[in-house]
Amino acid sequence: MKIGIIGSGHIGGTLTRRLSTLGHDVTVANSRGPQSLTDLAQEAGATAGDLEQAAQDAELMIVAVPLLAVPGLPAELFDGKVVVDANNYYPQRDGDIAELLDRSLSSSRWTAEHLKGARVVKAFNNIQAQHLMDNGRPAGTPDRIALPVAGDDAEAKQLVMQLVDSLGFDPVDAGTLDESWRQQPDTPVYGTDRDADGVRQGLAEARP
Ligand SMILES: NC(=O)c1ccc[n+]([C@@H]2O[C@H](COP(=O)([O-])OP(=O)(O)OC[C@H]3O[C@@H](n4cnc5c(N)ncnc54)[C@H](OP(=O)(O)O)[C@@H]3O)[C@@H](O)[C@H]2O)c1
């Protein structure tokens, strides 16, 4: 699959490496430009690009940037595309965002409102990058780590759930973007590497 990844840090860099290893055609972009990405691209077997090149013909995009960078991304590049939102809101890093501080919006709904037209799916936000790199296991492995996947577009969510499985994690349907607060920071499933039953239980037990 042709995949564009925005962000080349802990999460974007990890997904660049892992998805390239699986045989996907990955173009990765960051804020400093392709020349800053030659080492990562070479190591991973990916292509270094700018935002436009990452989006060009991409069947799936992944956004893994500090949340405060999202409003500055050119929304037209994501229009109509499946866009995985791996981001979290940390006020210390991202500043005060009223709708997120008062929890009237999930951070993925807030992202979808900025990236109008994108088919946003929340995934990979609740696992540490190093665990995403190292801890994938074949389907059926006891205690295989499960990852919640939330979104409003059933087809887009299915595609991302298949990707999660191919990376070695059990995908768990976590409902809609409005319900995706259940996998945000400070919830039972955040950073806790639960199996599928544990994730379902954690999502159900999450409290606003
Ligand atoms: N670290 C984890 O284990 C982890 C786990 C799950 C979810 N997350 C979430 O994933 C997101 C990324 O976290 P991270 O740890 O990967 O961060 P990071 O290591 O600091 O990397 C952030 C990346 O975003 C890029 N970026 C920033 N502004 C950009 C812009 N305007 N356009 C394009 N690229 C831009 C940066 O590019 P430059 O370097 O060129 O500025 C950098 O490559 C955050 O929302 C975080 O909460 C992190």
Average pLDDT, the chain: 98
Mean pLDDT for 107-120 is 98
User: CA 169 to CA 39: how far, in whole Å?
Assistant: 27
The ligand 1 atom at the shortest distance from the C-alpha of residue 32 is 40
Q: What residue owns the CA closest to ligand 1's atom 27?
A: 65
User: CA 208 to CA 203: how far, in whole Å?
Assistant: 11
The ligand 1 atom at the shortest distance from the C-alpha of residue 14 is 16
Mean pLDDT for 73-96 is 98
Instruction: Indicate if ligand 1 lies below 6 Å from the C-beta of 53.
Output: no
CATH number of the domain at 109, please: 3.40.50.720
> How many domains, the chain?
1
The ligand 1 atom at the shortest distance from the C-alpha of residue 73 is 31
Q: Which domain holds residue 150?
A: 2-205
Q: What residue owns the CA closest to ligand 1's atom 5?
A: 128
Q: What residue owns the CA closest to ligand 1's atom 18?
A: 9
pLDDT bucket at 208, cuts 50 / 70 / 90: confident
Mean pLDDT for 85-103 is 97
Mean pLDDT for 5-13 is 98
| pLDDT digit string, tens, across residues 165-188 | 999 999 999 999 999 999 999 999
- What pTM value is reported for the model? 0.98
- For 39, the 3-state DSSP assignment is helix
What's 81's DSSP letter?
S
Mean pLDDT for 184-202 is 98
How many other β-carbons are positioned within 10 Å of the β-carbon of residue 139?
Answer: 10
Q: Are 29 and 4 in contact (CB under 8 A)?
A: yes
- pLDDT surpassing 90 at residue 204: yes
DSSP H or E stretch at residue 146? strand 146-151
Instruction: Indicate if ligand 1 lies below 6 Å from the C-beta of 9.
Output: yes
| pLDDT digit string, tens, across residues 50-66 | 999 999 999 999 999 99
Among 117, 79, 77, 111, smallest CA distance to 97 is for 111
Instruction: Indicate if ligand 1 lies below 6 Å from the C-beta of 65.
Output: yes
